[in-house]
């Protein structure tokens, strides 16, 4: 019996053969994949000839293809369609993968070869992408500890494996506690204010858990819940907010408090071993921000005006509510103020945001206008779940771009939030095509009901599709640089830019159509949205900055610093930043801050605002140059999106923009002047 991961897929675009993959294939493929890659790497490091680009870097980039195939499919499944099997295997495999990665990155002979090539780089006749590949490997191996002695490396391996186990457990606890804390509603009148589609989704969710006739409000990842803006019952709002904020901190088997303390302690110790003052200093050394001081400077510049704006917004809310505003009241009364001040009614907009129309006539339409690409559904290609749709993406001249797959709806087996990942990453060296996936968490309406998106969901749709385009348009030689494989504090930039097309008049006119009447969204809605664009930005910026500052605070700890209590640490960090307003809770508290404790954004949650500086300045550029045109799209695609990680991102930005980014457009956008 053959294992489908052992050979490259022969399906269109290299789509993994999902129909042939079953649970028993994963473990042997991981084992074989790690063994194969290790043998390949030993073949490089064991060579006796002089190190060269061809005998070292190329085979290194070609190594590990079985592992790449199985890991891509498995981690896609464990985030989008998990079950007990994936949970268990993930917990088992994560430390093994960490050890495997260490075995390569800490291979002294391999490092010696890379360093030798790096030291003679100026004399080598290599193209710029190849030179950059050497630079990147050299820095990554150095930062990873390849230069440590054997005893130190042994300690490092131990840290890496323990951390990998702890972060996996954090994620598992969070999913379990999130499902467990879903709020059960007995009587439909308590859901007064919700849309019929939302109520039927809640009824469906209850039924899925054998609670027919009741209603289940499932939690989303951030602190705020989309229902809080419309639920009239204050007590129900308070219950949802309390459940959301309790995640991971209730005691018992799913409590993440101890994990937070252990993870941050071990990260600080590991950084010290590697010669850095803190985990943050270590992480940011290999980012475009370079060091935590640069990050702190940007966050501090924004925190004071954001907190001040939030307090002013709060006074407006209290005036209309007639009572003090608590965290669970903010969204509800801000909707009322929005309605009063700008007369924008988000609920009235939803009939104009029917999901399929948003996809075809909005998200896809904008991409066609900008880049000439077209999308054709390929229902003959099997994806990883029956709900996933597959689209073939072609250039204007009919040449292939790749496949785009869309997994729109929420389900219990799917992790919260929205994200993009690749099922196969583009590389000329490996002759790989590209397949990208977008995952959203839109509640599924009852059969026969249309899927009407919220304003935020439409925005997320455009955002995630921006990541998808970044992956799809990659035209790089080396797999290391494909698409979104770039710096973490840069990778959100292209996706944020794509959000601009959501309200672009030509795009909105094309998709903002009432699902029943076929009438276009009234112009006054659009004008009001534009007029209210800085509305509530004090709150939004503050809750984001609070989370970003918490993430920095945890990772500014030096080795040996003892933190006794998670909640007290949070309060102190937010007080110090001037962001401790109880009505404006942090977007994530530590015990459910998946980005920083399991999601790979540790010391990196600042990245969103860091890359938004580039985003806001790029939006300005598009506006100055005529907006939605092929010429603009092609320039962005060629100079930025297609480059992936294959050159210094800030250099790519200069090539596109003609200069460094200016912060002013960001300050204007968020009303922080």
Residues that bind Zn ion (CB under 5 A): 492, 495
Toward Zn ion, which CB reaches closer, 18 or 608? 608
Q: Which two three-digit tokens encode residue 489?
A: 């504090």
CB 367, min distance to Zn ion, A: 17
Q: In degrees, to the nearest 5, what angle opens at C-alpha 524 toward C-alphas 521 and 525? A: 55
Closest by Cα among 260, 322, 353 to 590: 260
Q: How far apart are CA 570 and CA 245, in angstroms?
A: 13
CB 79, min distance to Zn ion, A: 14
Task: Quote the radius of gyration of the chain (alpha carbons, Å).
Answer: 25
Toward Zn ion, which CB reaches closer, 170 or 493? 493
Toward Zn ion, which CB reaches closer, 168 or 611? 611
Which DSSP letter does residue 50 get? P
> How remote is the C-alpha of 198 from its chain's centroid?
25
CB 534, min distance to Zn ion, A: 22
Closest by Cα among 388, 385, 415, 387 to 404: 388
- Residue in 61, 195, 464, 570 annotated catalytic: 464
Toward Zn ion, which CB reaches closer, 163 or 363? 363
3-state per-residue secondary structure call for 583-644: CCCCCCCHHHCHHHHCCCCCCCCCHHHHHHHHHHHHHHHHHHCCCCCHHHHHHHHHHHHCCC
Q: How far apart are CA 142 and CA 504, in angstroms?
A: 45
Toward Zn ion, which CB reaches closer, 223 or 495? 495
Q: Which residue has the tokens 């050394």?
A: 285
Q: How far apart are CA 167 and CA 171, in angstroms?
A: 6
The answer to whether 515 touches 351, Cβ cutoff 8 Å, is: yes
The answer to whether 192 touches 233, Cβ cutoff 8 Å, is: yes
Toward Zn ion, which CB reaches closer, 316 or 615? 615
CB 460, min distance to Zn ion, A: 9
CB 26, min distance to Zn ion, A: 27
The answer to whether 37 touches 456, Cβ cutoff 8 Å, is: no
CB 491, min distance to Zn ion, A: 7
Annotate 445-463 with DSSP letters as a single string. Answer: PPTT---BPPHHHHHHHHH
Toward Zn ion, which CB reaches closer, 134 or 440? 440
Toward Zn ion, which CB reaches closer, 309 or 607? 607
CB 419, min distance to Zn ion, A: 7
Q: Cβ of 372: how many Cβ atoms within 10 Å? A: 15
Q: Which residue is nearest to Zn ion (CB)?
A: 495
CB 492, min distance to Zn ion, A: 5
Toward Zn ion, which CB reaches closer, 16 or 471? 471
Q: Which residue has the tokens 């596109």?
A: 656
Q: Which two three-digit tokens encode residue 555?
A: 């990772």
Distance set, CA 140 to CA 26, 188, 282 (Å):
28, 55, 11
Signed CA dihedral, 85, 88, 90, 96: sign only? negative
Toward Zn ion, which CB reaches closer, 338 or 470? 470
Assign 251 to helix, strand or coil: coil
Element (H, E) at 393: strand 389-394
The answer to whether 29 touches 70, Cβ cutoff 8 Å, is: yes
In the residue annotation, 464 being an active-site residue is answered as: yes
Distance set, CA 155 to CA 6, 162, 673 (Å):
33, 11, 48
> How remote is the C-alpha of 549 from its chain's centroid?
18
CB 141, min distance to Zn ion, A: 28
Q: Cβ of 135: how many Cβ atoms within 10 Å? A: 14
**Pairing assessment for the beta strands 419-424 and 389-394 based on DSSP bridges:** unpaired
Helix residue spans in 46-149 (DSSP H): 58-62, 65-80, 84-105, 108-119, 128-144
Distance set, CA 87 to CA 80, 171, 172 (Å):
12, 10, 7
Question: What number of CA atoms fall less than 13 Å from residue 294's CA on the CB side?
Answer: 13
CB 457, min distance to Zn ion, A: 14
Toward Zn ion, which CB reaches closer, 64 or 471? 471
Toward Zn ion, which CB reaches closer, 136 or 470? 470
Annotate 550-563 with DSSP letters as a single string. Answer: HHHHHTTPPTT---
CB 608, min distance to Zn ion, A: 8
The answer to whether 507 touches 368, Cβ cutoff 8 Å, is: no
CB 495, min distance to Zn ion, A: 4
Q: 415-437: buried (b, 16+ CB within 10 Å) or exposed (e) per residue?
A: bbbbbbbbbbbbbeebebbbbbb
The catalytic residue positions are 464
């Amino acid at each position: 019996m053959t294992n489908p991961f052992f050979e490259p897929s022969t399906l269109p675009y290299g789509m993994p053969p999902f129909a042939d993959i079953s649970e028993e294939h994963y473990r042997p493929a991981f084992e074989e994949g790690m063994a194969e890659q290790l043998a390949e790497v030993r073949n490089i490091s064991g060579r006796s000839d002089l190190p060269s680009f061809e005998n070292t870097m190329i085979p290194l980039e070609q190594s590990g293809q079985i592992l790449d195939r199985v890991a891509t499919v498995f981690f896609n499944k464990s985030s989008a369609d998990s079950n007990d099997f994936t949970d268990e295997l993930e917990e088992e495999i994560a430390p093994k993968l960490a050890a495997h990665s260490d075995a390569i990155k800490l291979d002294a002979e391999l490092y010696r070869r890379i360093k030798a090539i790096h030291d003679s780089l100026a004399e080598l006749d290599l193209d710029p992408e190849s030179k950059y590949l050497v630079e990147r490997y050299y820095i990554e191996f150095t930062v990873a500890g390849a230069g440590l002695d054997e005893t130190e490396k042994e300690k490092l391996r131990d840290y890496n494996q323990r951390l990998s186990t702890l972060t996996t457990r954090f994620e598992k606890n969070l999913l379990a506690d999130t499902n467990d804390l879903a709020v059960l509603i007995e009587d439909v009148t308590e859901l007064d204010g919700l849309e019929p589609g939302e109520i039927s989704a809640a009824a469906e969710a209850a039924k899925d858990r054998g609670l027919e006739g009741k209603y289940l409000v499932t939690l989303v990842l951030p602190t705020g819940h989309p229902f809080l803006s419309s639920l009239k019952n204050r007590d129900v709002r308070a219950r949802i907010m309390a459940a959301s904020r309790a995640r991971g901190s209730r005691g018992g088997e799913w409590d993440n408090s101890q994990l937070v303390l252990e993870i941050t302690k071990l990260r600080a110790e590991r950084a010290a071993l590697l010669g850095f003052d803190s985990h943050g200093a270590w992480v940011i050394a290999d980012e475009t921000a370079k060091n935590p001081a640069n990050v702190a400077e940007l966050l501090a510049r924004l925190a004071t005006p954001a907190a001040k704006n939030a307090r002013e917004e709060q006074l407006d809310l209290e005036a209309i509510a007639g009572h003090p505003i608590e965290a669970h009241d903010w969204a509800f009364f801000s909707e009322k103020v929005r309605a009063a001040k700008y007369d924008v009614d988000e609920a009235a907009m939803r009939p104009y945001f029917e999901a399929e129309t948003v996809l075809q006539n909005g998200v896809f339409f904008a991409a066609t206008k900008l880049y000439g690409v077209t999308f054709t559904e390929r229902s003959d290609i099997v994806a990883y779940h029956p709900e996933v749709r597959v689209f073939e993406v072609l250039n204007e001249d009919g040449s292939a771009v790749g496949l785009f797959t869309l997994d729109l709806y929420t389900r219990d087996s799917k992790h919260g939030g929205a994200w993009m990942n690749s099922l196969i990453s583009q590389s000329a060296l490996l002759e790989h095509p590209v397949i990208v996936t977008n995952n959203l968490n839109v509640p599924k309406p009852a059969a026969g009901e249309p899927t009407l998106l919220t304003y935020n969901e439409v925005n997320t749709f455009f955002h995630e599709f921006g990541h998808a385009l970044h992956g799809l348009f990659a035209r790089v030689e080396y797999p290391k640089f494909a698409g979104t494989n770039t710096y973490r504090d840069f990778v959100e930039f292209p996706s944020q830019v794509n959000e601009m097309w959501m309200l672009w008049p030509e795009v909105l006119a094309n998709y903002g159509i009432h699902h029943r009447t076929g009438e276009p969204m009234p112009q006054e809605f659009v004008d009001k949205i534009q007029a209210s664009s800085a509305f509530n930005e004090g709150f939004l910026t503050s809750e984001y900055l609070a989370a970003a500052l918490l993430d920095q605070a945890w990772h500014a700890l030096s080795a040996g610093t003892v933190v006794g209590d998670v909640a007290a640490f949070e309060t102190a960090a937010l007080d110090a930043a001037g962001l401790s307003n109880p009505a404006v809770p942090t977007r994530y508290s530590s015990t459910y801050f998946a980005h920083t404790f399991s999601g790979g954004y540790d010391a990196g949650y600042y990245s969103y605002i860091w890359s938004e500086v580039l985003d806001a300045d790029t939006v300005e550029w598009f506006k100055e140059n005529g907006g939605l045109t092929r010429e603009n799209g092609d320039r962005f695609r060629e100079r930025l999106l297609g480059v992936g990680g294959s050159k210094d991102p800030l250099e790519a930005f200069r090539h596109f923009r003609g200069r460094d980014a200016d912060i002013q457009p960001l300050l204007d956008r968020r009303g922080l002047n």
